[in-house]
Amino acid sequence: PFDLIIALKKREQSIMPFLLFDTYTGLGAGIRGNLDFDKYGELNIAAIGWTKGEWEAKVRYQKEIVDRLWLFAQSDRLYNRDEKVTLWRPQWGAEYATRSGWNAKLLFSQRELIETTMRPGVDQRFNVWKDPEIRLTSPWYGPNFSKLSFSAVHGRYQDNTYITNPWVKRYGLIADMRGNPDVSWNNFKPYYGARYTYYDYDSGVRKQKITDAWAGMRWNIGSFKFVSQYAQRWVDGDSSLTWDRYAKRRDFYQLVSFPLPIGKSWEKWDFSVAGTYSLETEQIAEVFYRLNYNKHCVTWQFWVRDKVASNEKQMGLTFFINAFPEYKIGLGSDALGSRSTGF
């Protein structure tokens, strides 16, 4: 019934509307998208107004000055629901990516809003200064059953969420492993992964070692699809910072997805629900619901995220072309390209 052109480059996307609901800010309506100025760079913008009186915005300009080297400047006006304050949060820097997959990033930021999951279903927000942070990330190496990637990070940080804390220097080394072996046993397909993180604060004053590991199985019974996963985190040491102070956790994750017997022959409805159970607190920590409506070449997706452990709820509506699911140009927070608090 209509023609919709999908650009194959992110920076060629146009401005689109979105809707979002959040427990703390209410119902919001806004716009987001990219404006490409060719050799003069590109501009990414997003803005939303909430029924409870707040408004938030993001503006980012970036330009490729030489092949694969980008300079960027960004300013976000974001609400910190923990402090109940809205601030402008500027950041700037440079990013370089090699053709072989290596990535280097230099970042300066002021009052950057960082959201840390303290435990499943409970997030905490911090205002962090980075002056600067340097990060180097390798590409993935190895076969599907054991892919490896490595990162190194060094920075100077200050957290002034409630009080002004002293500046802290941090060095970090991170090793990631992912496994998706090309095997299956009667519709059971396994996967697994692990991450080891080592942080050194102020040249050995404090150290923190975090090990995350998870293993899961994708399986189905007829048209019902399931994903079952167990994850665990071990923590040794402590942090001089508040926003990267991790705690041990043991979680079980379960997803169920199935088609709904409604609609015409050219329409498809399906529903999925995913929950996270914390073995540490012995409670259901978070539940995610999703309803998909697929007609011809497009899908509408309505979703609700219920953070049971913290009594927070979010919901949204997403629209995308089936051939290009990565270009979610419709309504909803996951069309923003960011998981920052609020939007």
User: What tens digit of pLDDT does each residue of 104-118 get?
Assistant: 999 999 999 999 888
Lowest-pLDDT range of 9-13, 124-128, 135-139, 320-324:
9-13
Query: Before 261, cis peptide (omega within 30)?
Result: no
What average pLDDT does range 266-290 have in this prediction?
94
Residue partners of 305: CB distance under 8 A and separation at least 6: 286, 287, 288, 313, 314, 315
Residues facing residue 267 across a β-bridge: 295
pTM, two decimal places = 0.84
| Confidence band of 135 (pLDDT split at 50, 70, 90) | very high
Burial status of residue 204 (CB atoms within 10 A of its CB: 0-12, 13-18, 19 or more):
exposed
Q: Is 252 within 8 Å of 277 (Cβ atoms)?
A: yes
Query: For residue range 223-238, what is the model confidence (pLDDT) as tens digits?
Result: 999 999 999 999 999 9
Answer yes or no: is pLDDT of 20 > 90.
Answer: no
pLDDT class for 31, splitting at 50, 70, 90?
confident
Neighbour tally for 81: CB within 10 Å: 19
Q: pLDDT value at position 33?
A: 85
Structure tokens at 13: 């996307």
pLDDT at 32 over 60: yes
Per-residue DSSP letter, 101: S
As a residue count, the chain comes to 343
**pLDDT given for residue 2 in this prediction:** 37
